[in-house]
Structures are given as structure tokens and as C-alpha cells.
Amino acid sequence: MANLLDIPLARLAPETLAGLLEEFASRDGTDYGDRELSLAEKVLQLRRQLDSGDMRLLYDGDSETWDLVSRDAARALLAGETLD
């Protein structure tokens, strides 16, 4: 079972959070809709989703990796459920 932590945004330095969001926004296969967005627009969109609580930042202590996931997916993963 993964050792997941829900990371509060206030615990991260602003430059660290910005770097995480830029890295996530530039991942291959990340879909932002019908029109192409700049990296800055993608980062802003992600930040808004985090600020609203629609998206959560999870850290897996076992694999030492992190991911941004929807609120519902985070709730399920933190409860030990698997995602289909």
C-alpha cells in the first residue's frame, strides 16, 4: 500500500509550488482542452484548481513521487481505495 500524504499548499515555498506546477503542466499527455495554452496559462489553471480544492497535491513516501489528482481521486486514494 502506498504511503500517501495530502500536502497543504501553505507548507510549500512559493517557488517550489511554482516549479511543481510547471513540471506537471509540461508533462506529455496532459490535456487542457481544445485550444493550446501557454505554460503560464496551464500553471494558472492548475493553481486555481488547487486553490479551489478541486485538485489535491499528493506525495507518495514509498516511491518519493508526487502527483496532482482530483479531489475525489485524492479522497479515494487516501482511504486506501484503488482507482479503476
User: Which residue in the block uniquely carries the three cell numbers 516549479?
Assistant: 19
Q: What is the pLDDT of residue 66?
A: 95
In a domain, residue 83? The reply is no
| d(C-alpha 56, C-alpha 73), whole Å | 9
Q: Assess if residue 62 is contained within a domain.
A: yes
The answer on pLDDT for 33 being more than 80 is no
Please check whether residue 12 lies inside any domain of the structure: yes
What mean pLDDT is predicted for residues 51-79? Answer: 95
Model confidence band, residue 29 (pLDDT cutoffs 50, 70, 90): low
What total of structural domains would you count in the chain? 1
Q: Which domain holds residue 68?
A: 4-29+37-78
Could you tell me the CA-to-CA distances from 47 to 1, 15, 42 in Å, in that order? 29, 13, 9
Q: What is the pLDDT of residue 20?
A: 96
In a domain, 84, yes or no: no
Q: What is the CATH number of the domain that holds 13?
A: 1.10.10.610
Model confidence band, residue 30 (pLDDT cutoffs 50, 70, 90): low
Mean pLDDT of all residues belonging to the chain: 90
| DSSP 8-class letter at 31 | -
